[in-house]
Chains A and B, each alone.
Chain A
Amino acid sequence: MSGPSTFQPKNPVLKWIERRLPIFGLVHSSFVAYPTPRNLNYWWTFGGILSFMLGVQIVTGVILAMHYTPHADLAFNSVEAIVRDVDYGWLLRYLHSNGASMFFIAVYIHMLRGLYYGSYKEPREILWILGVIIYLLMMATGFMGYVLPWGQMSFWGATVITNLFSAIPYFGESIVTLLWGGYSVGNPTLNRFFSLHYLLPFVIAGVVVLHVWALHVAGQNNPAGVEPKTSKDTVPFTPYATIKDAFGLACFILFFFWFVFYIPNYLGDPDNYIPANPGVTPPHIVPEWYYLPFYAILRSIPDKLAGVVAMFSAILVLAFLPWLDSSKTRSMRYRPLAKQCFWIFVGVCLGLGYLGAKPPEGVYVIAGRILTACYFAYFLIVLPILSRIEKPRAVPNSIADDVLGKKKSVVASALAVIGVVGLLALDSGSTARASDHGSTPPSMSWSFAGPFGKFDQGQLQRGYKVYKEVCAACHSMNLVHYRNLTDPGGPGLSVAQAEALAAEIQVKDGPNDAGDMFERPGRIADKFPSPFPNENAARAANGGAAPPDLSLMAKARGYERGFPQFIFDAFTQFQEKGPNYIHALLTGFEDTPPEGFKLPDGSTYNRYFPGHAMKMPNVLSDDQVTYDDGTPQSVDQYAKDVAAFLMWAAEPKLEERKRLGFQVMIFMVILAGLLYFTKRAVWADAH
């Protein structure tokens, strides 16, 4: 992309093609011979990592679209069907959902690198602005993708974000109507979001081409911030940059796969495992972690329009950065004051992210306002003033000088890494439940926890028995079929046993030739029966509160783990909030509420239920369910067994996931190691 190529293929076929379409020359000049500064550090590998992540998102996304149904009534279950029934569907879905987060982690690092090393300065202004456009497109794409599973957070996220546009004077309401295609967020909204979510990644890919084009015209910036002068300052892209990028990418994939295989729901919100309900807003709405800083800015401003303007300005201000910072010195390495302000700015962003996940009350609001002011001050006051008054240190004469006189700035890198981990860990969306009202459920030891966790077949069978004899009287499990009882990694029933269990129920089928509906014995392809014909019947029979479906219960409930525990949870692979909560709930009933607690009629006091007043009575008692294997028949044991069973029901591919995860991690460690030594061997010539 940097002018006509001098590349001449030898092979006559390639020669023939090259004369008519100089594509090999283009590739050669852009990705082989292209001179890249020899002092680039690993922060420069994130461009390649981002291209890779865009590819991953497009490939997995196109595949998911083959199985997904964009309909308000079917979307939620179709996503679950992908995870449960499609070969490797769980893998593809978790790659895609966690891939979005990884994409944003990489883009934030990429942006902060540009900010730190002054990559937006002349002659790279257009390159930078194209990057801001890509970032905006990514945000729109990520938001619309989050809507597609049509869970509670999808629905309410869509409602809140689309309502942002209602702040626009005069046209706001009309714009919102255009977004919705109805009187509220509904099926038409889901359909258009699906269409646009499919389209936008290709638009991103198009802008990425422009971004790379602009990059290859201006050339890469580098940590010293001085332009290459002689050929001593650069090395050819291949093999030097390619192998370095490959090693960086392999390390990033290891990080990515830690999430995919071991903590796939860590960055998500439990509420999104509850199907969308237009009648009930979750008590604590949080966007995905990557929007949290902007969400905090939005909430800091007490005026609707001003809040929205501030939020969008926070992103758009980036586009003006090349003119706000007029310092001639690019790299902040040589700008001591700007460097300190930069790290303060990173802290401000992390702080805003933290506040975005907190309820908008009390001290959080004040802190949010202060940090919002700091955020804008960095761009509008600090950088413009600093660039005029600061006296930068001398920059090296050339890149070659920089390489020779290089001191390792390990501290800055370590700080940045900590910053990234912190940013990542800012998902307290998943931790924001039950904290205000309930006590924290005790952590139990589960056989399925940890990297080698497996379900205990006996426990799953006992848990199924408890579900069938007690819970099933009121709760459905619509996503679980009798055939699942025979699946590997499950309760391990034989097909005959599952058939016998299925045959116990009567299933409505038809119409037959005469046009009549009829009842037939269940088959293993049938799902577990619902105790009520519809939700209204369930509500009417249970004092106004419909007993929720239990299929995903173990992933749809969580509780606050608190800072810094939730960061450690990412390392210890803690994913058992749901079963802990279920066990605590089933053992947490108290006959007499504490003094001063007014229990509404028809409710039971439960220590762990948010608000404590629960419509469900205490249904378990000792010796209620008979165990054949000699396990103690206590309420505590019943609660543990049924919680384990519900964990399996919510995550039936857990064992397969962890097993494959281990193999993949070992493979990636070997590959990363090989790439590291190859990189050293390649670069040995260059130093």
Chain B
Amino acid sequence: MTTSSSAGQSRRDFLFVATGAVAAVGAAAAAWPLVAQLNPDASTIAAGAPIEVDLSPIAEGQDIKVFWRGKPIFISHRTKKQIEEARNVNVASLPDPQPDSARVKEGHDQWLVVIGICTHLGCVPIAHEGAYDGFFCPCHGSVYDTSGRIRQGPAPSNLPVPPYAFISDSKIKIG
């Protein structure tokens, strides 16, 4: 038996295309869960809930490191001198221009809270090192100032400020 009529031919072509299209949709849909499973799972997300940090034990000039969502968060209790240094900078001349006031909470100028991950390739910078009294990344030599802004080296941007808020004068909630 052969289908020689052109109507039969086009009906067949339609059938082949429809079958192929449905099969392709099925294959694409099947790929979805295989990729979606790579997302953080529910327990990881639940463990990434906001944390509270008590600032009272941190003396002036000291800093601590806490972990939130697996990232080190630097909390520095800045000295007057450090605050001055952060403010007395020609913002326009910075590689990533940002005034110090945009990086701390109003009325809490002494507290700098930044994610301690170098914006170059993810190493953890060392506090109180480098030419700007801020942070120095030992991996590739990026230097950050007392506001966590990039001043020298290959890093493209400032140390990011995580979402946080003061719930009292001596307590912050990160996240």
A residues less than 8 Å from B18 (CB atoms):
674
Inter-chain contact B39/A87, CB cutoff 8 Å: yes
Q: Which of A81, A513, A667 contacts B26 (CB 8 A)?
A: A667
Interface membership of chain A positions 454-483, coded 1 if the CB is closer than 8 angstroms to chain B and 0 otherwise: 000000000000000000000000000101
Pick from A481, A523, A674, A684: contact of B3, CB below 8 A: A684
Interface mask (B1-44 → A, CB under 8 Å = 1, otherwise 0) = 11100000000100110110011001001001110111101111
Q: Are A86 and B37 in contact (CB under 8 A)?
A: yes
**Cβ of B77 to closest chain A Cβ, rounded Å:** 15
Q: Return the contact of B15 from the options A84, A87, A481, A681 (Cβ within 8 A).
A: A681
Which residues of chain A have a CB within 8 Å of any CB of chain B? 59, 63, 66-67, 81, 84-89, 91-92, 246, 481, 483, 487, 513, 523-525, 667-668, 670-671, 674-675, 677-678, 681, 684-685, 687
Q: Which residue of B lies closest to A239 (CB)?
A: B16
- Whole-angstrom CA separation of A67 from B38 in the bound complex: 9
Residue of A nearest to B3 (CB): A684
- From A81, A481, A675, A681, give the contact of B12 (CB < 8 A): A681
Q: Which of A85, A91, A685, A687 contacts B42 (CB 8 A)?
A: A85
For A687, list chain B residues within 8 Å (CB): 1
Rounded to whole Å, the gap between the CB of A386 and the closest CB of chain B is: 41
Residues A671 and B23 in contact in the complex (CB < 8 Å), given A89-B37, A525-B49, A678-B15: yes
Q: Knowing A674-B15, A677-B15 touch, does A684 contact B43 (C-beta < 8 A)?
A: no
Q: Which of A66, A87, A667 has the most CB of B within 10 A?
A: A87
> Which residues of chain B have C-beta atoms less than 8 A from A524's C-beta?
46, 49
| Residues A678 and B39 in contact, CB atoms below 8 Å apart | no
The listed residue with most B CB atoms (<10 A of its CB), out of A66, A487, A674, A675, is A674
Docked pose: A684 CA to B3 CA in angstroms: 8
Residues on the B chain within 8 Å of A86, using CB: 37, 41-42
Q: Is the CB of B47 within 8 A of A525?
A: yes
Whether A681 and B16, one on each chain, are in contact in the complex, defined by CB atoms closer than 8 angstroms, is: yes
Nearest-neighbor residue (CB-CB) of B31 within chain A: A59
The answer on a CB contact under 8 Å between A63 and B49 is no
Q: Which residues of A contact B70 (CB under 8 A)?
A: none
Contact at A59–B2, with CB atoms within 8 Å? Answer: no
CB < 8 Å neighbour of A85 from B1, B19, B41: B41
User: Is residue B107 contacting chain A, with contact meaning CB distance below 8 A?
Assistant: no
If A483-B46, A684-B2 touch, whether A674 touches B37 (CB-CB below 8 Å) is no
Q: Is the CB of B36 within 8 A of A88?
A: yes
Q: Which residue of the partner chain, among A92, A487, A678, contacts B33 with CB atoms under 8 Å?
A: A92
* CB of A86 to closest CB in B, whole Å: 5
* Subset of 30 A-B contacts with CB under 8 Å: A67-B37, A81-B43, A85-B41, A85-B42, A85-B43, A86-B41, A86-B42, A87-B36, A87-B39, A87-B41, A88-B32, A88-B33, A92-B34, A92-B37, A487-B42, A513-B57, A525-B49, A667-B29, A668-B26, A671-B22, A671-B23, A674-B22, A675-B19, A677-B15, A677-B19, A678-B15, A681-B15, A681-B16, A684-B1, A684-B3
CA distance A687 to B34 in the complex (A): 41
Minimum CB–CB distance from A479 to chain B (whole Å) comes to 11
- For A85, the chain B residues whose CB sits under 8 A away are 41-44
User: What is the chain B residue whose CB lies nearest that of A664?
Assistant: B29
B47 contact set on A, CB distance < 8 A: 525
- Complex Cα distance, B41 from A66, in Å, reads 12
User: Closest Cβ of chain A: how far from B56's Cβ, in Å?
Assistant: 12
In the complex, are the beta carbons of B34 and A87 less than 8 A apart? no
List the B residue with the shortest CB-CB distance to A679. Answer: B19
Checking B33, B36, B38, B41 against A81 with a beta-carbon cut-off of 8 angstroms, the contacting residue is B41
A-side contacts of B41, CB under 8 Å: 67, 81, 85-87, 89
CB atoms of B19 and A59 under 8 A apart: no
Distance (whole angstroms) from the CB of B105 to the closest CB of chain A: 24
Closest to A663 in B: B29
A681 to B11, CA, bound (A): 10
| Most chain B CB atoms below 10 A, which of A481, A524, A525 | A525
CB of B7, distance to nearest CB on chain A (Å): 14
- CB contact between A59 and one of B34, B43, B46 (< 8 Å): that residue: B34
Q: Indicate which residue in B37, B44, B46, B49 contacts A88 across the interface (CB closer than 8 Å).
A: B37
Find chain A residues with CB under 8 A from B15 CB. 674, 677-678, 681
Residue of A nearest to B13 (CB): A681
Chain B hits for A92, CB < 8 A: 33-34, 37
Complex contact B33–A91 (CB within 8 A): yes
Residues of B within 8 A of A671 (CB): 19, 22-23, 26
Take A674-B19, A674-B22, A675-B19 as given contacts and tell me if A87 and B37 are in contact as well, using a CB distance cutoff of 8 Å. Answer: yes
CB distance from B6 to the nearest CB of A (A): 15
Q: In angstroms, how far is the closest chain B Cβ from the Cβ of A665?
A: 12
Chain B CB within 10 A, most for which of A668, A671, A687: A671
A246 to B20, CA, bound (A): 11
Residues in chain B near residue A487, CB distance under 8 A: 42
- Min CB gap A675→B, angstroms: 6
Residues of B close to A684: CB separation below 8 A: 1-3
Residues on A with C-beta less than 8 A from B3 are 681, 684
For the complex, give the distance between the alpha carbons of A89 and B43 in Å: 13
From B32, B36, B37, B41, residue with most partner A Cβ within 10 Å: B37
B44: A residues at CB distance < 8 A: 85
A89 to B, closest residue via Cβ:
B37
Q: With the chains together, A684 CA to B38 CA distance in Å? A: 45
* Assembled-state Cα–Cα distance A668/B23 (Å): 9
Chain B residues, Cβ within 8 Å of A674: 15, 18-19, 22
Q: Report B24 CB to chain A, min CB distance, Å.
A: 11
Whether A63 lies near B37 (C-beta < 8 A) is yes
- From B16, B29, B33, B49, A87 is in contact (CB under 8 Å) with B33
Shortest distance between the CB of B20 and any CB in chain A (Å):
9
What 4 new A-B contacts, CB under 8 Å, besides A88-B33, A481-B46? A86-B41, A87-B37, A668-B26, A681-B16
Query: Measured between C-beta atoms, what is the minimum distance from A437 to chain B in Å?
Result: 39
Question: What is the chain A residue whose CB lies nearest that of B39?
Answer: A87
Contacts of A668 in B (CB 8 A): 26
| B173, chain A: closest CB distance, angstroms | 13
